[in-house]
Amino acid sequence: MLLSTPGLVLHTTPYAETSVVAKVFTRQLGLRSYIIKSVRGPRGRVKQNLLQPLSALDMVVYDNPKTNLNHVKEIFPRHVSTCHPLNLSTENALRFFMTEVLYKSLREAEPMPDLFDYVESVFALNTEHLTLNTIHLPVIFLLTVARHLGIEPLDNHSSREPFFDLQEGRFVSVPSETTLSPALSEMLHEYLSNFNRQLSVFSLSERRALIDALIAYYQLHLSGFSHFHSHEILHTILK
């Protein structure tokens, strides 16, 4: 069966002489793997730059539920308008960070159109989240993806339960090896409670620590989410 769907490229692997296998987050089908022919080599019909991390595509694909590896019939660049362009280094750092989060957290399962729309609009730089300073984007992105995946931290912060427990996914009253410091827990609470409103100006070290903590949180709650590296580049760019 043929189906048309927008998609976002997450990863490619060489296949045969001139083809690649692409992991694509599609709006209609969710995460899928596709063989894309005539990519590599001087006479390739599909240009390599069309398959960069988070490249937006319009695709016509074969959808055979009996196989995990389908073919692409047609592929075109998808026009996504932007209204808040970033400098190239910041854009690339965010692109690789968001791609790695999605690639290591999504599984080939049911469609997630709301998450697809969120990711596409964030990268288009035209959502309400971008009225906030760009430095907040990594934390907001991690928390939003976690919500769509059903692992969002519970915001039950109070004076009686001031410590966020990475293992429990909630704030607790007694600190342990898996709880964040009171200051970092308070910071996470502010992000959770002021999601789309004005946030405090946190220091570079505080933002780095919270991103690192949320990556550890993902690793505890999602199998296969390991060896994460792109946040290290992000730390050097978003100062």
Q: pLDDT tens, 69-79?
A: 999 999 999 87
Look up the pTM and report it: 0.89
Q: Which residues of 183-213 are buried (b: 16+ CB within 10 A; e: fewer)?
A: ebbbbbbbbbeebeeebeebeeeebbbbbeb
Mean pLDDT across 173-186: 96
- Residue 46 maps to which CATH number? 2.40.50.140
216 in the same domain as 171:
yes
pLDDT grade, residue 144 (50/70/90)?
Answer: very high
152, part of any domain:
yes
223 in the same domain as 111:
yes
Where is average pLDDT lowest: 123-127, 133-137, 140-144, 216-220? 123-127
Q: Per residue in 39-79, pLDDT tens? A: 877 666 788 888 988 899 999 999 988 888 999 999 999 87
109 in the same domain as 47:
no
Name residue, tokens 């609470």.
Answer: 189
Looking at the structure of the chain, the number of domains it has is 2
138 in the same domain as 28:
no
94 in the same domain as 51:
no
117 in the same domain as 220:
yes
83, part of any domain:
no
Domain boundary pick from 58, 77, 96: 77
103 in the same domain as 72:
no
195 in the same domain as 124:
yes
Give bridge partners of residue 36 from the DSSP assignment: 20
Instruction: Determine phi and psi for 23, rounding to 5 degrees.
Output: -85, 120
Whole-number percent of the chain with pLDDT over 90 = 57
